[in-house]
Chain A
Amino acid sequence: MIRKQGIPGKIKQKHKELEYTTEVNLSDNLDENKAALQQAFSNCDDLVVRDLHIFGVLPCVTAYLDVLVDDTLWDNGLLAPLMLPEKIESDNPAQLIEQIKNKLGSVAKPEIASNLKEIVQRIVKGDVILFIKSSSQALRFSIKDQLHRQLEEPSTEAVIRGPQIGFIEKLHINMALIRQRIRTPYLKMEKLSVGSISRADVSIIYIENKAPQTVIDDVKQRLAGIDMESILESGYIEELISDHPYSPFPVIQATQRPDLVSASLIEGKVALLVDGSPFALIMPITLWFGFQTVEDYYMNFIFATMLRWLRYLFAFLAFALPSIFVAITTFHQEMIPTSLTLSLAAAREVVPFPAMVETLIMEITFEALREAGVRLPRPVGQTISIVGALVIGQAAVQAGIISAPIIIIVSLTGIASFLIPHPGMSQAFSLLRFPMVICAGTFGLFGVSAGMIAILIHLTNLHSFGVPYLTPLAPFNRSGLMDVLIRAPWQIMHKRQNKR
């Protein structure tokens, strides 16, 4: 189950040097500590190192990264009380530290640090360090500047009904969003750091006794196996801990919705939150997860069931429609009703390319238009869609380069791929239609069925953290199908969950 997270040796050595590994204890000399720190942060102009006398008399040095620290809190909450003249109770460093801690109370969560490595890591995260004269221990305060954007509805997973809130780039706010939904001590959030240069905080979230211990251990083990310099987005982790990084199908779900994460946790899944990424990862998932939205559970179950079938149908169309069209029109004309054959043939009359080439041209054009639409700024994006729809669609047909039925097929496929709610799943299905079209163009319906069988074999071989990808269809589980073939009403689903 567990795979080695391999990274070529060269890079490994290079970043070993970069990593600040000196497990040096602090000296009791202020200047030495200062020098060590400045060496570690050489050329970091945002590092502020200041000499000051606290309580009017005691010489100290503070160090922090200017850009990460909340200025108001630093001035009013920390400096102001410390700068007031006060009698020093004892010369013993330990007692001194105790006095400072008492003085500040709980304002900035003062904690003791005695190791240079820890201090460097803390400064990088936005802590303020206070070195005290003739003490080999330092105090650190967490007064991070909470730079973050407003909570808003995720644009990629909008719902009509349901909470209009999404994750943001701050880990602890994201954690709070989940805590607010699941109010129980059984909700566990374990923090880890991943990445050797940029230490990203990763939080493993699960509900004790609900999530299988094997999956939790598996996730932890794989996270520990990650050997990367930096983790900037949860996408890195998704690929690094995936069971099948070479498969187009996602075996880990990424979402921006806290309600989806909470619902998955209650179902016994494990979630990962990465600091700096608004996308949570949910594992293990099955193929069907890609076709479900949270909204299915908020609306009438009959309508939700209809929507699910609509998605299944269009997912099938998204990867099979162009290939079936190509196969039937170039190999099995007798399968089409006569009148349709005649109009298809009439449309093809002036077209110079074989149907397969035609389809590939239009499919590639469509993918290009889609990509262009995503990348361009919104106002320009609209121009692209007009140019795409009018110029390419209309003109290509009128010029006799592409036949009109192909345009219909390609646009239908395009719409179909947008019906799959999970972007990863949608990408997989859009990608697979290209090999399918080639199969269809070379072998007809035989090629289409061979391609489908190949995809099915691949799907049955996939696992997500030990769970077969096609569960509950294969291995078969009748009660599990209640949430796949239909969206069973809550009364029934609730019973099923309790039984489990």
Chain B
Amino acid sequence: MILNRIFFVSLISCLALLTGCWDRKEMDDLALVLASGVDLTDEGQVEITLQIALPTGIPSSLQSSGKAANPIVVLSAAGKDSIDAFDQLQQQMSRRINLGHRGVIVIGEKYARQGFDRILDTLLRSSESRYNSYIVTTYGTTAKEILNSPYQLELIPAIGINKLQYNDYSLSIQIDKFIDALSSFDKEPVTGAIRVTKHGSKQQGFILDKAAVYRSNKLVGFLSGDELKAFRLLTRKFDGIHLTTQMEPPTKKQKGTISVQMIKAETNIHTELKNGKPEVSIYFKAVAKVLSNDTNMDLSKTINRVEERFSEDCHKAIMGMLSRTQKKFKADIVGIGREFHIQHPYVWKKIKNDWNMRYPEISIQLITDFRIERVGRTQAPAQLQEN
């Protein structure tokens, strides 16, 4: 009985051990890709750029004595499609390309304008790609240049891009959201847009201050400044948004501005069908706190005026943004179609195929309601006390 059992156990362990560790990949045999970029070459090929971490270049207590090596290596290769390009890259590398830690995917502007389809499948199919990596589009440059530009604050530039997106300082879109918008009729995708900055003569870096707007799978334009803020407010990505308004004409002493920080923003989109045409009314409600007051106003008495002014500003910015997406981009990036889909599911079925055509024509009503909850001070500002 016991002999039988021993025989059985040894058979099982032979089965287990003879196959070997076939899926094993030691960490020092991996090329950890932290960011990848896609560009279109002049010959119409796909050019893949990988930013790969070099563990030896990462300073640790053991290697502190030696001179600091570069912690990254950036490689590019062009091919017929992305797999072909990856193959060419792999042939230069002694370590296996591992996409498990890819936090950022950079899409070159040229490539984006030409259309997305050729790399989409590679993004979706590989089990190594993660759905929570961020996707950004370049503005006025190529992905290769972005990935080659150094970044002072982080050891590895890709981690810099990743953190910029993670902290929501600008519009940040993860690949699952992007693909969701890309694959549905009722919404158009947007991504953050990145461009190279030059500090002084040599120092290079990048900045994420725009949003790239897509129509179906093609890049159609960029949103920036107030329009980007309005878009973020409307889609509730309001973390860290500051608004500034001119309350009084500037004097010698004061600029006459008030700045607020958003605490809360709510958007209710109500859709109706009138005479077979969709009509949309958007109710936007925001709550903010005052950050600075460079005017002669005592906010404890005149808060209503300030609220009204901000409400007008928001109305203006949001309407401006919406009309731009309607007239210029013809892309429903706010997701009005999705609200319509939810509120009128049966009508949607009939119009979903030409929603793209209908969106620029629909009339949009906007009501804004802006409240300031915290003045932020217990006393009047010093310049008021002076008077």
Cα–Cα distance between A398 and B156 once the two chains are bound (Å): 26
Residues of chain B within 8 A of A459, CB atoms compared: none
Residues of chain B within 8 A of A341, CB atoms compared: 27, 32, 101
Give 4 nearest A-B pairs by CB, closest first: A334-B100, A345-B55, A346-B55, A345-B27
Per-position binary interface string of chain A over residues 328-346, scored 1 when its CB falls under 8 Å from any chain B CB and 0 otherwise: 0111011000110111111
- Interface residues in B210-261 by Cβ distance below 8 A to A read none
List A residues at the B interface (Cβ < 8 Å).
Answer: 329-331, 333-334, 338-339, 341-349, 351, 354-356, 397-398, 404, 441-444
Residues of chain B within 8 A of A333, CB atoms compared: 25, 27, 30, 32, 98, 100-101
Residues of chain B within 8 A of A345, CB atoms compared: 27-28, 30, 32, 53, 55
Size class of B's contact patch? Answer: 20 to 34
Cα–Cα distance between A333 and B101 once the two chains are bound (Å): 8
> Given the known A-B contacts A333-B101, A404-B62, are A354 and B26 also in contact in the complex, defined by CB atoms under 8 Å?
yes
Closest to B24 in A: A330
Are A342 and B28 touching (Cβ within 8 A)? no
Residues of chain A within 8 A of B32, CB atoms compared: 333, 338, 341-342, 345
Residues of chain A within 8 A of B128, CB atoms compared: 334
A400 to chain B: closest CB distance in Å?
9
Known: A333-B27, A349-B28. 11 other contacts (CB 8 A): A331-B23, A333-B101, A341-B101, A346-B55, A346-B60, A348-B26, A348-B27, A348-B55, A354-B24, A397-B62, A442-B19
User: B108 interface residue, CB < 8 Å from A?
Assistant: no
Closest to A333 in B: B100
User: B3 interface residue, CB < 8 Å from A?
Assistant: no
> Given the known A-B contacts A341-B32, A442-B17, are A331 and B24 also in contact in the complex, defined by CB atoms under 8 Å?
yes
A248 to chain B: closest CB distance in Å?
15
Q: Is the interface of A mostly helix, strand, loop or mixed?
A: helix
User: B382 interface residue, CB < 8 Å from A?
Assistant: no
Are A339 and B21 touching (Cβ within 8 A)? no
> Given the known A-B contacts A346-B55, A349-B55, are A338 and B28 also in contact in the complex, defined by CB atoms under 8 Å?
no
Closest to B16 in A: A442
Residues of chain B within 8 A of A349, CB atoms compared: 28, 55-56
Are A339 and B159 touching (Cβ within 8 A)? yes
> Given the known A-B contacts A346-B55, A398-B62, are A338 and B26 also in contact in the complex, defined by CB atoms under 8 Å?
no
Determine which residue in B17, B24, B32, B60 has the highest number of CB atoms from chain A within 10 A of its CB, and name it.
B24
Cα–Cα distance between A224 and B139 once the two chains are bound (Å): 88
Are A330 and B25 touching (Cβ within 8 A)? yes
> Given the known A-B contacts A334-B128, A349-B28, A397-B62, are A444 and B100 also in contact in the complex, defined by CB atoms under 8 Å?
no
User: B58 interface residue, CB < 8 Å from A?
Assistant: yes
> Given the known A-B contacts A334-B100, A347-B60, are A441 and B55 also in contact in the complex, defined by CB atoms under 8 Å?
no
Task: Out of A338, A351, A404, A443, name the residue touching B159 (CB < 8 Å).
Answer: A338
Cross-chain pairs A/B with CB under 8 angstroms, 13 sampled: A330-B21, A330-B24, A331-B23, A333-B32, A334-B130, A342-B156, A344-B27, A346-B55, A346-B56, A346-B58, A348-B26, A404-B62, A442-B19
A342 to chain B: closest CB distance in Å?
5
Cα–Cα distance between A329 and B25 once the two chains are bound (Å): 8
